[in-house]
Amino acid sequence: MALVAEHRAVLGVDIVGSARLPGKHTAVARRIALETVEAALAERAVEVLHRSDTGDGALITVPGARVADLLDAAHAIDAALVEHNTWHRPEVRLRLSVESGPIGDTPDLYLPRKDAARLLDAEDFKRLLTRSLDPADESRATTGLIVSDHVLRAAFAGDHTTRVRRAEFTPLPVRNKEFTTTAWVRIPGVDVKSLATPPTPQQPPPTITNNVGGDMHGIQTHTVNGNITLGGPR
């Protein structure tokens, strides 16, 4: 009889827009991202049990009892990257996820690790974060955090976090292939009410149609690009 694996937590990390970075900046951005994550975990004395390289980020497994520390670590990661992006290039922006569940000691891709990766890669989460990444806005988001429902309930079932509040999260239905769930999202610096409100679709400009009965001795237009000549040459 096989025993149930120990309950552990997973922090997923993925660099936003890494494919658009110049080649010389990709490795630098990855180094900065992972060093920032490691520093935030070390500051809270969170033991890393396993680390999987995902190319543009990592899946980091820690003891299950430290799941709330991962939420506070996400806050520290955001603050550190805001400071970095203010003074240095390349800018680094991250998607972060937290999931928990039974994970064994082997490097196998246990379900909680799979789900952490699915949360990171969910198009619904990417679209929500993209709304907060307008390059013209100096206060644009630096990180986005998505967590499962049971992670949220576990983290805020008692006095477990010091930097992050329950009210900063908004629910988000996500779908990634066969994976469907309601997760919770936090984007520092973005009002939670605006996260919960879908953007208003832009309406196309009105079309003006003029019907003329009889002779017309003038012209009415909506938009004119170029010259208008009335009548023939004089």
For residues 120 and 215, the model is more confident at 120
CA distance linking residue 73 with residue 25, whole number of Å: 25
The mean pLDDT of 86-90, rounded to a whole number, is 91
Specify burial of residue 160 (Cβ count, 10 A radius: 0-12, 13-18, 19+): middle
Distance in angstroms (rounded) separating the CA atoms of residues 13 and 30: 10
List the CATH number of the domain containing 116. Answer: 3.30.70.1230
Tell me the per-residue pLDDT of 47-59, one tens digit each, with 9 for 90 and over: 999 999 998 899 9
Which residue from 41, 10, 36 is spatially nearest to 92, judged by alpha carbons?
A: 36
Higher per-residue pLDDT: 95 or 3:
95
Q: Which two tokens stand for residue 214?
A: 């009889």
Better pLDDT: 199 or 147:
147
Domain assignment present for 187: yes
Residue 50 and residue 66: Cα distance in Å, rounded? 14
Domain encompassing residue 33: 7-194
Average pLDDT of the chain, as a whole number: 85
18 pLDDT tier (thresholds 50, 70, 90) = confident
Q: List C-alpha distances in Å: 137 to 56, 126, 142, 156, 229.
A: 25, 18, 12, 32, 43
Mean pLDDT of 23-43: 92
**Domain presence at residue 170:** yes
Q: Is the pLDDT of residue 230 over 80?
A: no
**Residue type, position 103, single letter:** I
Q: What is the pLDDT of residue 189?
A: 86
* 23 occurs within a structural domain: yes
Distances (CA, A) of 110 to 89, 101, 118: 36, 9, 13
Decide: 148 and 181 in contact? Cβ < 8 Å.
yes
pLDDT tens digits, residue range 119-132? 999 999 999 998 88
In a domain, 55, yes or no: yes
The stretch 26-46 carries a mean pLDDT of 95
> How much of the chain exceeds pLDDT 90, in percent?
62
Query: Has residue 115 been placed in a domain?
Result: yes
Q: Rounded to the nearest 5°, which phi and psi values hold at 19? A: -65, -20
* pLDDT at residue 201 greater than cutoff 50: no
For residue 173, being part of any structural domain is answered with yes
Residue 171 lies in a domain: yes
**Residue 209 predicted with pLDDT over 70:** no
Count of domains for the chain: 1
User: Which pTM was predicted?
Assistant: 0.82
Cα 218 to the chain's mean position, in Å? 55
The answer to whether residue 30 is domain-embedded is yes
Q: Which residue has the higher pLDDT, 22 or 111?
A: 111
Q: DSSP assignment of 204-229, as one string? A: PPPPP-----S---S---S---S---
Residue predicted with more confidence, 211 or 90: 90
